[in-house]
Amino acid sequence: MSVNPTEIRKALLASGFELYRTQGDHVHVADRVRDNLIMDSGVSVSTALSVKFVVRSQRSDFPNDATANLFERARALAGAALGRRLCRDGDGDVARCTIRADPSRTLDTWYEVSFRKIRNHAGRGHDRKSVLP
């Protein structure tokens, strides 16, 4: 069963979620950082009825840690979700946060690990979130 992004958007909005953007077949959920600022929460829902979330650690928070430790910190953030049959997407990604006016300058570096939960076609083995159409 596949749905389109418009149906996903409607279902998420009806369930009280704020949305950040729709990019292709993925609807990204927003994180309200302050009253006047929303950002990408790292959670998205795809038209193939999969839910993806990204956890990260930031170099600025742990300036003396080795890269491997920063990825381990990110993986530890997902600890509670791992018992819910999530699949890890790869070993991790490094994202440089640069200054728009001068992309050669790095503000921070994020060490990200993404996880995905896919609803299988038979409806067995994976739970379908109630907000999905």
Span 34-71, pLDDT tens digits: 777 778 788 899 988 788 888 899 999 999 999 999 99
Does residue 68 fall inside a structural domain? yes
User: Do 23 and 59 fall into the same domain?
Assistant: no
Domain enclosing residue 115, as ranges: 52-122
Instruction: Work out the average pLDDT over 3-13.
Output: 91
Domain identity same for 69 and 40: no
- Which residue, 53, 55, 54, 51, is CA-closest to 117? 51
Instruction: Note the pLDDT of residue 122.
Output: 43
DSSP state of 127: P
Residue 133 covered by a domain: no
Same structural domain for residues 34 and 87?
no
110 and 87 together in one domain? yes
Asked if residues 43 and 53 have their Cβ atoms less than 8 Å apart, the reply is yes
Report yes or no on 128 lying in a domain.
no
The DSSP bridge partners found for residue 40 are 30
